Each structure stands twice: as C-alpha cells, then as structure tokens.
C-alpha cells in the first residue's frame, strides 16, 4: 500500500508541475500569445531533455569513458519523443483540465510543498546539465 501511495505522490508532483508552469504561462503578461498548454508541454519537455542529456553525458563520460558516443539522429529523435509523450499524456482525455481543476481547488498551504519541489527540480536540472557540460568539455573526471 505504501508503494502505491508513493507512486501516486510522484504523479501528483508531475501534475502539479504542469499546473505550476501552466499558471506561469497563463498570466496576463502573456495574453498577446496565450498558448499556455503548448508552452507548458514544451517547458516540461525541455527540462526532461536537459535531464536526459545530463544523465547520458554522465553515463557515457564518467562511467564508460567515452566522449563522442551519440546516436545518429539524437538531436531530432529525443526532443520529438519527449514533446510527443508529454503532449499525449496531458491532452489525452483532457487530463490537463482535470489537473487544473484539481489544483485550483487547493489552498496555498496545500500547494506549497509541490511548489518548493518544482523550483528545486528546475534549479537542480539546470545546474546538473551545466556541471556535466563543463566536466565533459574540460575533460574533468570525477573518479
């Protein structure tokens, strides 16, 4: 039972992260081009892509000692898969409308832990990809 609760918590954070970015792109300052759904999907996919790149560089460079092992169409296929998956996941059955409704009904105190984790995820993702890029570019091994 605890495993199921833990998995639901992960999905809840992912849903809140969608809500978090959707509200950012749905603010009045973006009204000229109000496309918060697509902007949110692209934002989530961009973070997932940089996470993928950082983990891939970590595995290839630090664990397998290879600097230039890439797939032939890596720069096209990987982003397309992440964007398509996220678009399908949130659009399927209008899941995104249920997510927005669910989190709009919560208080700020209930949303606060999710907001903190969302900011930590964004900052850590960016720092990790910068760190990995720096270590690979300058040939710095961790061990």
Give the pLDDT of the chain (143 residues) as one tens digit per residue: 444 444 455 678 889 999 999 988 776 665 555 588 888 999 999 999 999 989 988 988 888 887 665 666 677 888 999 999 999 999 998 899 999 999 999 999 998 988 999 999 999 999 999 999 899 888 888 77
Residue 116 gets which letter from DSSP?
H
* 72 assigned to some structural domain: yes
Alpha-carbon distance 102 to 3, whole Å? 23
Pull the structure tokens for residue 57.
């560089």
For residue 55, the enclosing domain spans 2-137
Strands (E), 66-127: none
Q: How many domains does the chain have?
A: 1
* 142 assigned to some structural domain: no
Residue 107 gets which letter from DSSP?
-
Alpha-carbon distance 14 to 27, whole Å? 20
* 143 assigned to some structural domain: no
Cβ(21)–Cβ(44) below 8 Å: yes
Any idea which residue has 């969302």 for tokens? Answer: 118
CA 51 to chain centre: 8
* 66 assigned to some structural domain: yes
Pull the structure tokens for residue 39.
């902007």
């Amino acid at each position: 039972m605890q495993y199921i609760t833990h998995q639901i918590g992960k999905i809840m954070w992912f849903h809140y992260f969608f809500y978090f970015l959707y509200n950012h792109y749905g603010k009045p300052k973006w009204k000229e081009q109000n496309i918060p759904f697509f902007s949110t999907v692209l934002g989530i996919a961009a973070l997932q892509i940089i996470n993928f790149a950082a983990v891939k560089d970590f595995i290839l460079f630090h664990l397998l000692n290879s600097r230039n092992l890439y797939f032939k169409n890596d720069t096209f296929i990987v982003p397309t898969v992440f964007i398509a998956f996220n678009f399908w996941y949130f659009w399927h059955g209008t899941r995104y409308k249920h997510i927005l409704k669910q989190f709009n009904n919560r208080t700020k105190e209930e949303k606060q832990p999710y907001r903190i984790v969302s900011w930590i995820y964004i900052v850590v993702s960016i720092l990790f990809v910068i760190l990995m890029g720096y270590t690979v570019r300058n040939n710095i091994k961790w061990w």
